[in-house]
A and B are shown apart, each in its own frame.
Chain A
Amino acid sequence: MAFVQNFPFLSIILSLFSGPLCAVLDGKWARRVNGAVIAIIGILSVFVLKNVIPAGQPYVYRMGHFSAPWGNEIRVGVLEAFMACFFCVIMLLCMMGGIRERETEIEESKQNLYYVMVNLLLCSLLALIYTNDLFTAYVFVEINTISACGLIMIRQTGRTFEAATRYMIMSLLGSGLLLLGICYLYAVTGHLLMSNIREQVQLLAAGGQHHISLMVALGLMSVGLAIKSALYPFHAWLPDAYGYSTLSSSAILSSLVSKGYIFLLIKIFCRVIGFDVVTESKVVNVLFVFGIIGMIMGSWSAIKEKNLRRMIAFSSVAQIGYIYMGLGLATEAGIVASIYHVLSHAATKSLLFVAASGLSDASGGSDRYADITGAGFRNKLAGTAFLVGSLSMVGMPMFSGFISKLFFAQAAVGHAHKMLPTVIALAISTILNAVYFMKTVIRIYTPMGAYDAVKGDGTGKADGIGKTDGTGKADGIGKTDGTGKADGIGKADGTGKADGIGKRDGTGKTDRAEENGAGSERSASDWQEVGRTGRQVVIWEQPAKSAALICFILLNLILGLNSDPIMRLIQGGIEMFD
């Protein structure tokens, strides 16, 4: 056995033990240790991947050298190693992107505990990816849940406590069902190792025995993992948990935690139950239907949302729907498309979260819709990144989202019953995605003055206020003049906004309302809202976040432009599952 074959086990143990280590270090050192551990594990996974690809077949690592039916095993194939590597990259970038937020939003004495949670989360994700034992998978699912709950509640506000409680309740319902499913399967087959269960299940399926028990076990496990990864009707906890926790937490939760469960479900489908049995069952149809409903309802809720981060969170519901739709197709192409979407969604959603926080940095720390007007001009890198993320989510060619949508459509073509619903759902969902993402992009690239002028025109507010050109905000508005659109409303242009800011410096709110005179109550509050915003953010102000954003954009482009080798890798990995 080559030394490199120990690496998967070593990486699990490394992240597991660096957790307690971080608990005794102070915040700064814990951060360094955590970064180093994630990077080292990423590098180790690359070595594993380079070792596994030429071998062409997976290998089994026996824990403690107890052989098959009794011992606990780690099983490493191409897909597992690739996922481990990818998850490390995403996690490192998420941690880099949120350094500033963690320092300001988490209490000084609790800084190091955050890294304990992140290390445990990484450990459980790696174990979920590599393990060959169902009960071990259950234990690490619970560890994953607990550490994710810690990530949510470490920013101590009432909102996050409530979100963490709701998250825990839904997760525990899910893991209860998962555990019951595993017990059922154990009772029917008498094994806990995935490969042994597979053999028994095939024997049972060939003999037509215990059909109902197998279906019950499959259904329980699928529903349990679907609840945990926030498939549509079970998503109620998600927007709060993603919307109010600290930045790295929401990025990690959306891009990694739910994906860990989905990967486990794919493993259960392909390696435990066996794909042919799954295909015959009706469970996949249920996942398909809820996936499609989720695609549409998630986007619909996102359209109605007024808070940028919650909007992105609702978009996650839609994207999880895509993944389950792909699983529901129950073909190999569908599963490949789902895995590709796992990758592209992980890369894009964390990009969007980091970019959104960059935009709210430039808007006085607010992520409300009204406040981010023009933020794309104030923080150019975050604006660009948000644009890239949005285009990818909507599915523009060149970006990763397009490739996964293409794969979904290809997987659906020729499917007897599911082709039409899939294609229609893809089309509707793309349009809905475009509605809310393009709305946001237009909003962040609308200069404040111009936007307000358009609004002011309608309410007649612009008339009441004198044209104040020579105020501090004139810069931003000067840009507006350059664009064609602002010309038309040139007169109203300099009003409201510039005026408001000038005055705000000196006087209180009531004053402004009086001065405004003609302005209605509503326009006054609008005025104040936008007046709070506005601060130029340069790229080097937060070097870590900028670097993370650039890496995310590159990752997105790589996934979008270079899909063929990745696709072949995934296909090879799926074949190795057998």
Chain B
Amino acid sequence: MNWTYLMENYEEAVAMILFGIGFSNLLLQKNLIKKIIGLNIMDTATYLFLALKGYIAGRKAPVVVDGMTDVEAYINPIPSGLVLTGIVVSVSVTALMLALTIRLYRRYHTLDLDEISTRLKKEGK
């Protein structure tokens, strides 16, 4: 195992650690709001990873300014486009989760998913 790779690509390492944090929060937290925060961390970590893949050191965002049209001046724009699409998806999913959370909170006055489940079981049907 060569640890220098890890140090050279520390951005990717950070993205993966963040992904792990978000994933485990979404999976393990009981509180619905914390779950949603976990979801957002997870998605953002993916976008960080994706944006890194498109970045080329020393180049600029591909917006033509000052008539500079040389390809060599710009970073790879496709991952940026993918990140934008991904953000749209993540926003809509977060909105849906929050709406569901509000519904559950109004009905059961708690954000704890496990407690909601036990209460549902007690109610019977």
Q: Is the pair B23, A176 in contact by a Cβ cutoff of 8 Å?
A: yes
Q: Is the pair A161, B39 in contact by a Cβ cutoff of 8 Å?
A: no
Given A162-B104, A162-B117, decide whether A180 and B19 contact each other with a Cβ distance below 8 A.
yes
Which residues on A sit within 8 Å (CB–CB) of B82? Answer: 135, 183, 186, 192
Indicate if B53 sits at the interface (CB-CB under 8 A): yes
Q: Is the pair B93, A161 in contact by a Cβ cutoff of 8 Å?
A: no
Q: Is the pair A183, B49 in contact by a Cβ cutoff of 8 Å?
A: yes
Q: Is the pair A135, B85 in contact by a Cβ cutoff of 8 Å?
A: yes
* Contacting residues of chain B (68-115) with chain A, CB-CB under 8 angstroms: 78-79, 82, 85-86, 89, 92-93, 96-97, 100-101, 103-104, 107-108, 113
State the main secondary structure of chain A at its contact with B. helix
- B120's partner among A149, A153, A162 (CB-CB below 8 A) is A162
User: Nearest chain-A residue to B116 (Cβ)?
Assistant: A162
State the main secondary structure of chain B at its contact with A. helix
Interface string of A396-415 (1 = CB under 8 A from B): 00000000000000000000
Which residues on B sit within 8 Å (CB–CB) of A418? Answer: none
- A161's partner among B23, B50, B89, B104 (CB-CB below 8 A) is B104
Q: Is the pair A172, B39 in contact by a Cβ cutoff of 8 Å?
A: yes
Given A180-B49, A186-B53, decide whether A142 and B104 contact each other with a Cβ distance below 8 A.
no
Q: Is the pair B49, A162 in contact by a Cβ cutoff of 8 Å?
A: no
Query: How many A-B Cβ pairs are below 8 Å?
Result: 83
Which residues on A sit within 8 Å (CB–CB) of B92? Answer: 142, 146
Instruction: Kindly state the separation between the CA atoms of A208 and B26 in the bound complex, as whole angstroms.
Output: 36
Interface string of A174-192 (1 = CB under 8 A from B): 0011011001001100001
Instruction: Kindly state the separation between the CA atoms of A447 and B49 in the bound complex, as whole angstroms.
Output: 64
Indicate if A158 sits at the interface (CB-CB under 8 A): yes
Q: Is the pair B46, A165 in contact by a Cβ cutoff of 8 Å?
A: no
- B97's partner among A138, A168, A177 (CB-CB below 8 A) is A168
Which residues on B sit within 8 Å (CB–CB) of A164? Answer: 100
Q: List 27 A-B contacts (CB under 8 A).
A: A135-B82, A138-B89, A139-B89, A146-B93, A153-B100, A153-B103, A158-B104, A158-B107, A158-B116, A158-B123, A159-B125, A161-B100, A161-B104, A161-B107, A162-B116, A165-B32, A168-B96, A172-B97, A176-B19, A176-B26, A176-B39, A176-B42, A179-B46, A183-B50, A187-B49, A187-B53, A192-B78
